[in-house]
Structure 1
Amino acid sequence: MSVTTLRIFRANKKLNRSFIVTFIMFALLALFGAFMALPLVYAINNAFKPLDELFIFPPRFFVRNPTLDNFFDLVSLMGGNSWVPLSRYITNTLLITIIGTAGHILLASAAAYPLAKYRFIGSKTIFSIVVLSLMFSPHVTAIPNYMVMSWLGWINTQASIIVPSLAFPLGLFLMKQFMEQIPNPLLEAAKIDGGASEYRIFWSIVMPNVKPAWLTLMILQFPMLWGGTDGGNFIYSENLKTLHYALGQIIQGGIARAGVGAAVALFLMIVPITLFIFSQSSVMQTMANSGIKD
């Protein structure tokens, strides 16, 4: 066997081994991906099941006789016969979710920029406090949060949900870590050569470069506000309550509303999932670039 033939044989052997490893990894990822998608598939099938299929034993994973009665019943319960129409609950939820998410992204970005690019007295202490706050569960701060909202006179207002969401510490931590990856010479060149101000640098250079980070933050914050249950703790007026609280009252109607409850679960899931589908590439980019330093 010649030297050339031996090299070709070794190259083909190495290529085949690489193909086998890649195929095995792909098969495992596909298997785990399908397993993780099972709850979503089950929720979708439950939403279209009639009552007899919902309570059949042993339970069926896939629907046999799909129906839209669950959605029609949901519209009927929350329709014109309701004291507060469904559109009011949707408007309240969208208002809280959009303002809370956008406000948090802006506040976290504005606070992270000086912590990432400037060294001033107390900067390390401030960031240490932010990191320390990540250790506390929201249940630990529930009572102090309620007391603060009460002292400010914001109980039974939408500000009692929006304002605390602006101080989500994970957002500041994520934005700071990502802004540190922006080269300092780039910002200095914008100041010296372009005569740009700090606000111009922040909006025209920093924010576009950290787009994957604030899109990831949007995906993390949006579901928390969309499906949040804090409305029942701070808001008592029916006209100001959120969609999650209103639909939760429907589910408590008993066995007869099990089908409506399945439709409610799908309705609450579909919006965050749709948002994630359109933004998943940016989320993957954030995870891949996290921890990289220049």
Structure 2
Amino acid sequence: MHKTINRSVGGNITAFAILILLGTFMVLPLVYVVSNAFKPLEELFIYPPRFFVRNPTVQNFRDMVTVLAQSRVTFTRYLFNTVFITVVGTLGHLFLSSMAAFVLSRHKFPGKAVIFKLIVLSLMFTPSVTSVSSFIIISRLRLLDTFWAILLPAFQSTLGLYLMKQFMDTLPEAIFESARIDGAGEIRVYWQISMPMVKPAWITLMILMIQNLWNTQSPYIFSEQMKSLPQAMGQIIAGGIARTGVSSAVSFLMMLVPLSVFIISQSQVIETMSSSGIKE
């Protein structure tokens, strides 16, 4: 008995040590980006490079503001474009994918299995495979250089539909039958019963969509007035060695929003998964 307890404790310590080691390696790139953002130029060009900053400064951020001020389009316009695309694209995708998932999961109709197999099949293809056909479709719809050129592909992403459908399949059917017996319509069953129970799924999907849309650099946008913040930042980074400090500040700022959303939402996902749901 004593040996069994010792082995159990030893195994837990080993597993914990491995998790700490893996977690450290995952966090190190983020720490390095933050460190570089506050390094003066002499530390950025030093060889061999230093991991941590020794003389922190905000000069890189000042230089970034100066560069953006010289642009024909204001920084607030770039920021508005990015926030608009991220918010509308995320909400639209959550709404459409959850509604489609609810129908596929909780209703029976001819061709349901075929439709779901096609959805799974589409997950095998990367966006680059369909980029030419997507460009042709958007061009013929005359949506080039508009917000719709980014929003429509975001709305129809099959990853969210698959994730929501698989999560809804785990919900007990008795709950939905009870709601229908009590007189609840399909919209009420979807919104007031199904959506709260799949909160971990749509929060996870929200994180993925925000990360994707916030960092998007769409090839369908050409005019400076319609460009997003990542596209503007990409032009700054393309300045070469002369803008190394600015590039470090840009990388830090672009990472900040998705990371903040993930940190805030992660606790909600864990809490919801540990306390929600009814098991039969």
TM-score range, shorter chain: over 0.9
Q: How far has the Cα of 1:13 moved from its partner?
A: 3.6
Q: What residue number does 1:161 align with?
A: 150
The aligned residue for residue 206 of structure 1 is 194
d(CA) in 2 for partners of 1:211, 1:28? 31
Q: Which residue of 2 aligns with 1:21?
A: 11
Superposition pairs of residues 1-294 of structure 1, within 5 angstroms: 10=1, 12-79=2-69, 81-192=70-181, 194-230=182-218, 233-283=219-269
Cα offset for 1:17?
A: 2.4
Unaligned runs of 5+ in 1: 1-9
**Identity value in percent:** 50
Q: Hey, what's the Cα distance between the residues in 2 that align with 1:68 and 1:35? A: 27
Equivalent-residue separation in structure 1 for 2:267 and 2:32 (angstroms): 25
The one-letter amino acid paired with 2:210 is F
How does the TM-score come out when normalised to structure 1?
A: 0.90
Counterpart Cα distance in 2 of 1:149 and 1:190? 42
Cα drift, residue 58 of structure 1? 0.7
CA distance in 1 between counterparts of 2:81 and 2:114 reads: 38
Q: Cα deviations across residues 179-209 of structure 1 (Å, max 9, x unaligned)? A: 01111111010111x2100000100000000
Please say if residues 51 and 259 of structure 1, whose CA atoms lie closer than 8 Å, have aligned partners that are also in contact: yes
Q: Which has the larger radius of gyration?
A: 1
Aligned AA for 1:130?
I
Partner of 1:3: none
Aligned-CA RMSD value: 1.8
- Distance in 1, matches of 2:26 and 2:68, equals 32
Q: Number of matched residues? A: 277
* CA positional deviation for 1:52: 1.0
Alpha-carbon shift at residue 30 of structure 1 (Å): 0.4
Give distance in 2, aligned partners of 1:17 and 1:255.
55
Q: Could you list the runs of 5+ residues in structure 2 that have no partner in the other structure? A: none
Whichever residue aligns with residue 75 of structure 2, its letter is L
Q: Distance in 1 between matches of 2:217 and 2:253?
A: 16
Q: Which moved more, 1:18-27 or 1:40-49?
A: 18-27
TM-score by length of 2: 0.95
